[in-house]
Amino acid sequence: MDQITIKDLLLRTIIGINQEERKDRQDVLMNLTLEVDTRRAGESDDIEHAVNYRTLTKRIIRLVENSEFFLVEKLAAEIAAICLEDTRVARARVSVEKPGALRFARSVGVTIERSRDDA
């Protein structure tokens, strides 16, 4: 299966379980890998045959910037669900990290994989 990758998407949102985390937006760093059959798009050179990752990214940005989840697991699951709404996406791997969330660690995060069967 072919892959589309979106690397280092850095956005700000309310995320966390502690009261101080619920006051101000924090950085979240996301990486996505989408398993897609790109053959038809590669042959036709037509955006209608491709996963439009610009449109997809705009939807993810809207979700993240307007959300107030407690857990990065929930945020990752919601992002994966958006990715799988496009029927051409067979599987989505989503990593969400909170830079500086743990003392002495660059970041903490979660990586999930969801498939069309999970949706």
Give 8-45 pLDDT, tens digit per residue. Answer: 999 999 999 989 889 999 999 999 999 999 999 999 99
Instruction: State pTM to two decimals.
Output: 0.94
73 contacts: CB under 8 Å, gap ≥ 6: 110, 112
Query: Based on the number of CB atoms within 10 Å of its own CB, is 43 exposed (0-12), middle (13-18) or buried (19 or more)?
Result: exposed
Give 34-81 pLDDT, tens digit per residue. Answer: 999 999 999 999 999 999 999 999 999 999 999 999 999 999 999 999
Q: 48-77 as b/e, with b when 16 or more CB fall inside 10 Å?
A: eebbebeebeeebeebbeebebeebeebbb
Would you kindly state where each structural domain of the chain is located, as residue ranges? Answer: 2-115
Q: Which residue in the block uniquely carries the two structure tokens 């949102």?
A: 13
CATH 3.40.1160.10 fits 2-115, yes or no: no
Q: What is the pLDDT of residue 119?
A: 59
